[in-house]
Every structure is written in structure tokens, then in C-alpha cells.
Amino acid sequence: MLKHNLGYPRMGSRRQLKKACEQYWQGLIGRSDLFLTAKRLQEEHWKIQQDAGMDLIPCNDFSFYDQVLDMSLLLGAVPDRYAPVVTEVGGNAEIDLYFAMARGFQQQGLDITAMEMTKWFDTNYHYIVPEFTADQQFRLFSNKVFNAFDAARHFTGVIPKPVLIGPVSYLLLGKEKGSGFHRIALLNRLLPVYIEILQKLREQGAVWVQLDEPFLATDLTEAEKEAYVQAYREIARQTKGLKLIVATYFEGLRENTALAANLPVCCLHIDLTRAPQQLDAVLQAMPPKTSLSLGVVDGRNIWKNDYDTSLSFIRKAVAALGEERVMIAPGCSLLHSPADLSLETELDPEMISWMAFARQKLQEVQALDLIFQGNMALLEANRAAISSRRGSSRIHKPEVKQRTAAITDAGVARQSAFPQRQQLQADRFRLPLFPTTTIGSFPQTDDIRQLRAQLRKGAITQEAYDEKIAEATASAIRWQEKIGLDVLVHGEFERNDMVEYFGELLDGFTFTRNGWVQSYGSRCVKPPVIYGDVSRPEDMTVKWTKYAQSLTSLPMKAMLTGPVTILQWSFVRDDQPRSLTASQIALAIRDEVAALEQAGIGIIQIDEPAVREGLPLRKEDREPYLDWAIRAFRISASVVRDDTQIHTHMCYSEFNDIIRHIAAMDADVITIETSRSQMELLEAFADFRYPNEIGPGVYDIHSPRIPTRAEMFSLLQKAAERLPVRNLWVNPDCGLKTRKWPETEAALANMVDAAREARAGISDLVKV
């Protein structure tokens, strides 16, 4: 049985690549230092993989920014606007062109925008979207894959396995610039370049090549299916002698099983961690000579593999195909796992015994092979770890389980329907038309960040820290009153991060020191780990919210993070359905909502920016997901009286296809991001006749630019043309924590002016 790996995290266990790239961008180090860091990291990672007994070691999985952008450069899909960069930076500075495509180019009198970025399937990794024109040409442009092959071979002494994104997935990942064509029609022009690359690799001595085709595990049109058949027929015909692995992951093949199994390649890889149920159908569909690579170790989570489960898959596949036709690997690239568990010296040893990061995951692949050969000691040790986790009293809280099981339909609905609530809330808060508010956070200055760092190091006391946070909060409130906002916020100065803050206060969560995962470019996130039943031992936000409310007679809006967002941005336990974990978090948030109401807070916002990104890849799975996700929100929100106003906030996502579910959340007010699309996003709400109140963002918070009163007024006008004026709120697109104070003050003052103008000109706004 060959053991292989689909890709290794490239950041480095101490985020060396992040640091090197950022220093390079700032001009603090030169190109050769950057390349040296990259070389050392790749070598370190190749060694780890070799030490873990991998028979095929990937190369070209390393990337300075993103593997899809690497493909665009390899295939010469460089948008025309970068032409001046090519001449400007001169001959051998491919890397500067590359970073210009990723980050834009504002130098030497040029101002060229970056390429668009979007989420990689249902992960939190973001890739750079290829841009295609109708007359798009492709050509072999970059030598990175060939250099990587030579370097890996030289360093490891064995023949490495180059990794590329397959041609059909590459096209599908991109976006058409201009109309009148579909990118899949570019296949004929693209294929010759792929073939040239593969032939060149063969000449260099490559034997195995991995082509990632994750779209095979998604819903495909007939034309896309046909593209797969055509592409691989052509590739197979012209690259004889190469052993091609087509890798699928993140979902099962389902109706594409026969299509994928019959591609004329040497090996098909399937992800059994995401879709174990596909194994039988795939085994049945396998043609006589093709090998099957079993993705048995979860590449997207941090839990230790359950060897018994993996072995049952391996045994079944070996029985059906014979050992020489079975390979084993992690389910997907380990890009989505943190690097190395052995750096987690502060985690509790019991917890460590339940986990595996990238390095350990490869050891698991190796162990599975050894156990398959008869090493029972390894299996026994794994069984002990798995059963210790399964039975641990740290994980299982009977009272939490009982409470989740006891949630009734009445427990997920507000007392009265929205129209009645709206009246009661109007009577209580007496807000003007076009009430103004913000999304929660105010600028997190270096002072505040340093304060938190000092507290963590023990350099200042909790009291000293609290005092400073109180000062920042008080001054934010004075300032909001001064500029005339209607519903105030406390500013979230006490929060490091909107998920981490709650995770630290909830039971069932733990945190790693170095569990970083690449999000985009040099940006990494360190998701909390939800290991056990979630409960809320004490109030989480009441103290600061009450304090803030005590300083003003205006309504103070409390800020909470919603259950789906907490779930989505964490490593989630894999021993129970995600829906159940969501309900447990929802109950904890519900208790906080109740405590806030008890403390006299009348307006409570439950942020759910991540609802949309949790949407399953397959259409048929979306309804069930949305059902439980929306229910989780409603569990959190529905505990309050009718005259308590629940807000929610969502941003940076398409709403069209989920608008029905957003309405079903039944928040009294939703604030969304709309300013960049000039209110286009509002269309979904207008078409649907969204019944509740809504605050379409009028201020794009992603730029230091200060929007004028006039432009925000014109956005309000557009909103008023689409939705009932009595339902409209005025607010920025999102939280302001990444902004600086001066621009924030100026922008919000303009926003308040725009709202006042809207109120004054109300009759002009309402279309009769």
C-alpha cells in the first residue's frame, strides 16, 4: 500500500513564511532572504514527510501566497492590467508580479488593483480568483513547478510527486471578465499548456503527478462533466508513462462516481473523512486497473484518527481491489491543519492525547499501514486514546445534553409576531425614522492591544486593565452622544476577537498556542477548539454592557456572537453532529441574552456573519443545514420579551439564495453590508419583501476613505426606493475595529448628517 500526502501546510510551525513575506513587502528583507526562508521551509516539510514514511512526497504544494494564483502564473493567465508591472520590475522578478496580482501594485506611480479573492470551497482558506477574458490565451509562463520538482528530488533523493490543480477545476475556480462566454469553453486553449507542463515534468523524471479536481465532488452541469471526459482523454493520450492521480476532497462523488472512476488516470483519490458513505459505490465503479487512494485521516480538523474506522475502510478496499491498487493518505491537503502538536506544551496532556496536527496526521497514515501489516500495539494505544476521549467526564455534561434534548418548538419562537413586537419596541425606544447605529466594535488601537498583551504576560493587573478598558468605553460613549448616534454600542474594547472572547468564557472550549491555519496570503487564524459539551458558567458581557448603559440615557445595544459563527470559526468536535454542538452554544448565548435583558438592556445584537459560509457544497444538503443553523439562532434570540429588540448582523456574502432563511431568523433588525455594491445586495430583501427592520450598510469600512454625507444620503435614497422607510436603519457595513479613530469619527458624523437629511426630506424619499 503506497502512503502519500496531498499537500503540507506551508506557513511553518512558527509562521516563518508569514513573517518573511511581510518583511519582504515592507522592504525589510530582500528577495534572496525570502527565497531562503521558502527553501528551508520546504526542506523541513519534505523531511517531516519522509520521516513519516510517505512513499510519495508532494512538491509544488508550497506557495508564497496561494496555490491557485501559482497556477494562474504557471499558465500565463496574467490579466492585462499587470503588464506595466512586468516591465517596471524587470526580468527576473516574477515574484513581484505574483505579489502584485495578489495584493495590488501601488508603486512607481502605478495604482493597479489586486485580483479578487474568495473562499476555497467550504474552508476558511481564501484563494485568488483567476480572471478569464473571451479571448484568453494560455502559455507556459512560470517555472516554479519544475524548480520545485528538482529541489525536492535533490533534497529527498527520491522522485517527488508534483501537485497541480487539474484543468477543469482551475477553469471552474475562475471568473469571466466580460460577457458572452463560459469559462469552461476555454478548455481547448488550456489543455495544450497542461499537456506541455506534464510532458516537461515527465522529461524531468516525474512518475506520479497529482491533479486536484475538487469540483468532481460538487454539483456539475452536463457541459462540465463533458469537459472532464474530454480533458482527461486528451491528457492521457499525450502523457503516456506518467501516473496521474486525480484528487477529490471535501465531499463525496455521489452522481459523479462513474464519471470520476472512469477517467483514464492511474489513481483516484476520495475523501472518506468528509464522505465515508461513498466507499461502496466507488469500489463498485472502479474499472479493472485503476488504483484508489483512500483519504482516511481528516485534513481539516485536529482530532486523532480512529484507527478502527480507517482500518475498516482499508480492509474493504483491499478486499475489493487488492493491496497493490490501494493507497492511503489524509482526506485533503493538510493546508487546513495546524502544523505540529508537539509545540503545544501548555495544553493539558489528556487533551493532547486526543489530537493530531499535520505532522502527527502523517504519522497516523504511517501507523495505519503498520497496523494493517499486523502491528497490534499501535492499534491498542489508539483504541485507548479514543475511548478515553469518548468517555471523558470533561466532555460529557449530562445536564447540557438533557437541556439540548428538551428544546421545544415554543422555545425557538418569540412570544408575538413581528408587527406586534415592532409596535411595542417603537413605543419603548421612541427612535426617529432612519435611526443610526454602528455594528459593534470601535477602533482597536495599539494602546488597547498592548494593554491586552501586558495583561497576558502578567505585566499589569486585571484591575489596571479593566480601568483602561472602562476609560476607552466611557470616551466612546461620550463621543457617540456628541455626534448624535441614536443607538449606542460599548465598543468591544475588552474583546480580542469576536469568537475567542466567548470561547474563553464558555466551558467546552480550549485554545492552542500555535494552532495557526492559513486564511489568506500571510494571514493566519487560530481557531478555538470545541472539545466538549458547551455551557456558560457565568455572565460574559453583562458587566461591560451594564457599565456602558449606566453612562448614557440613550439605548445601549449589547453585542454577542451567534452560535453558528462561533461554530464555523472553531475546530469543532467530531463525536456528535455539528447541529447538536450548535444547539448547545445557542443555549449558552440564550442565557446571556436573558441575563442582559434582566440587567435592563433593551437592545441585543447577535452577530451571525458566518451563516452563509457554512453552506454545504452540495445543493441537496443546504436545506437541512439552514434549518438547524437558523434554529440555533432562534434558540439564542427567542428568550426575550416582545419589547426587547433583537438585532443580527451579517456581512460579505450573497443573500439571494438564503433570503427565506434569513427572514426565518426573525430578528427585529438585521444590519448587512451593502455599500460596495451600491445597494445591489438589497435587491434580494426588496424582492422578497423582507418584513422586518433592516440596516443596509452605507459606509464601506474596508478603506480609510471617509464617505461623504451626500453619497451616504444617496444610498439611503436607493434603500428607501426598495424598502418601507419605517423599517430602515442607518449604519456602517461592519464593525470598525480595523479603522483608525480620526476617519471613523469623521465618517460617522457624516453618516448621522445623512440620516438627518433623509428624515427631513422624507416625502421626497418615499416613492408614491
Using CB under 6 A, pick the residue from 737, 744, 745, 750 that binds ligand GLN.
Answer: 737
498 binds, among ligand GLN, Zn ion, none (CB under 5 to 8 A by kind): ligand GLN
Distance CA 592, CA 598 (A): 10
The footprint of ligand GLN on this chain (CB under 6 A) covers a number of residues equal to 13
Q: Can 4 be counted among the known catalytic residues?
A: no
Using CB under 6 A, pick the residue from 206, 270, 651, 698 that binds ligand GLN.
Answer: 651
Per-residue contact flags (x/-) with Zn ion for residues 584 to 613, judged by CB under 5 A: -------------------------x----
- By CB under 6 A, tell whether 559 contacts ligand GLN: yes
- By CB under 6 A, tell whether 739 contacts ligand GLN: no
- Which residue bears the cell 438547524? 628
Question: Smallest distance, Å, CB 511 to Zn ion?
Answer: 23
Question: Smallest distance, Å, CB 609 to ligand GLN?
Answer: 4
Query: Measured at CB, which residue is nearest to ligand GLN?
Result: 735
Cα separations in angstroms, 414 against 229, 380, 410, 421, 634: 53, 51, 8, 9, 8
The H or E element that residue 119 is part of is: strand 117-119
Q: With respect to ligand GLN, which residue has the nearer C-beta, 372 or 493?
A: 493
Query: What 3-state DSSP class applies to 243?
Result: strand
Binding part of the chain for ligand GLN, among 148-156, 408-416, 438-446, 461-469 by CB under 6 A, reads: 438-446
**Cell digits for 735?**
464593525
Per-residue contact flags (x/-) with ligand GLN for residues 565 to 604, judged by CB under 6 A: ----------------------------------------
Torsion of CA 381, 385, 388, 390, to 10 degrees: -120
Distance CA 286, CA 261 (A): 5
**Of the candidates 77, 94, 209, which has an alpha carbon nearest to the alpha carbon of residue 131?**
77
- By CB under 6 A, tell whether 609 contacts ligand GLN: yes
Report angle CA 721, 726, 729 to the nearest 5 degrees.
80
Identity of the amino acid at 622: R
Is residue 242 within 8 A of residue 201, CB to CB? The reply is yes
**Cell digits for 620?**
441537496
User: What's the distance, Cα to Cα, between the start and end of the chain in Å?
Assistant: 73
Give the single-character DSSP code of 6: S
Question: Smallest distance, Å, CB 707 to ligand GLN?
Answer: 18
Q: Considering only residues 676 through 735, tell me which ones interact with Zn ion, judged by CB under 5 A.
A: 734
The footprint of Zn ion on this chain (CB under 5 A) covers a number of residues equal to 3
The H or E element that residue 382 is part of is: helix 376-391
- By CB under 6 A, tell whether 491 contacts ligand GLN: no
Q: With respect to Zn ion, which residue has the nearer C-beta, 160 or 609?
A: 609
Query: What 3-state DSSP class applies to 767?
Result: coil
Q: With respect to ligand GLN, which residue has the nearer C-beta, 260 or 604?
A: 604
441 binds, among Zn ion, ligand GLN, none (CB under 5 to 8 A by kind): ligand GLN
Q: Which of 45, 126, 647, 702 is catalytic?
A: 702
**Cell digits for 273?**
473523512
Q: Considering only residues 104 through 143, tell me which ones interact with ligand GLN, judged by CB under 6 A.
A: none
- By CB under 6 A, tell whether 187 contacts ligand GLN: no
Question: Smallest distance, Å, CB 263 to Zn ion?
Answer: 41
Using CB under 6 A, pick the residue from 7, 12, 174, 440 that binds ligand GLN.
Answer: 440
Question: Smallest distance, Å, CB 649 to Zn ion?
Answer: 6
Q: With respect to Zn ion, which residue has the nearer C-beta, 67 or 124?
A: 124
Using CB under 6 A, pick the residue from 218, 436, 441, 549 that binds ligand GLN.
Answer: 441
Question: Smallest distance, Å, CB 503 to Zn ion?
Answer: 19
Q: With respect to ligand GLN, which residue has the nearer C-beta, 61 or 693?
A: 693
The H or E element that residue 168 is part of is: helix 167-173
Query: Maximum CA pair distance of the chain?
Result: 82
In terms of DSSP bridges, do strands 517-520 and 523-525 run parallel, antiparallel, or are they unpaired? antiparallel
**Of the candidates 538, 532, 585, which has an alpha carbon nearest to the alpha carbon of residue 562?**
585
**Of the candidates 270, 264, 215, 214, which has an alpha carbon nearest to the alpha carbon of residue 243?**
264
Q: With respect to Zn ion, which residue has the nearer C-beta, 646 or 734?
A: 734
Q: With respect to Zn ion, which residue has the nearer C-beta, 88 or 607?
A: 607
Question: Smallest distance, Å, CB 180 to Zn ion?
Answer: 35
Handedness of CA 515, 516, 519, 524 (dihedral sign): positive
Distance CA 4, CA 329 (A): 5
Distance CA 584, CA 96 (A): 48
**Cell digits for 709?**
454625507
Question: Smallest distance, Å, CB 523 to ligand GLN?
Answer: 14
Q: With respect to Zn ion, which residue has the nearer C-beta, 728 or 734?
A: 734
Query: What 3-state DSSP class applies to 161?
Result: strand
Q: With respect to ligand GLN, which residue has the nearer C-beta, 371 or 751?
A: 751
Question: Smallest distance, Å, CB 437 to Zn ion?
Answer: 13
- By CB under 6 A, tell whether 665 contacts ligand GLN: no
Per-residue contact flags (x/-) with Zn ion for residues 730 to 749, judged by CB under 5 A: ----x---------------
Question: Smallest distance, Å, CB 604 to ligand GLN?
Answer: 12
What is the number of other CB atoms lying within 10 angstroms of the CB of residue 255? Answer: 12
Tell me the helices (H) and strands (E) count for the chain, helix number first: 29, 22
**Of the candidates 419, 461, 435, which has an alpha carbon nearest to the alpha carbon of residue 666?**
419
Q: With respect to ligand GLN, which residue has the nearer C-beta, 435 or 562?
A: 562
Distance CA 206, CA 126 (A): 29
- By CB under 6 A, tell whether 734 contacts ligand GLN: yes
**Of the candidates 674, 749, 754, which has an alpha carbon nearest to the alpha carbon of residue 712?**
754
Using CB under 5 A, pick the residue from 400, 610, 651, 663 that binds Zn ion.
Answer: 651
Question: Smallest distance, Å, CB 646 to Zn ion?
Answer: 17
- By CB under 6 A, tell whether 735 contacts ligand GLN: yes
Binding part of the chain for Zn ion, among 2-10, 310-318, 324-332, 643-651 by CB under 5 A, reads: 643-651
**Cell digits for 394?**
470533561
- By CB under 6 A, tell whether 607 contacts ligand GLN: yes
What is the number of other CB atoms lying within 10 angstroms of the CB of residue 293? Answer: 27
Q: With respect to Zn ion, which residue has the nearer C-beta, 75 or 651?
A: 651
Q: Where along the sequence are the contacts to ligand GLN (CB under 6 A)?
A: 439-441, 492, 498, 559, 607, 609, 649, 651, 734-735, 737
Catalytic sites, residue numbers:
702
Residues near Zn ion (CB under 5 A): 609, 651, 734
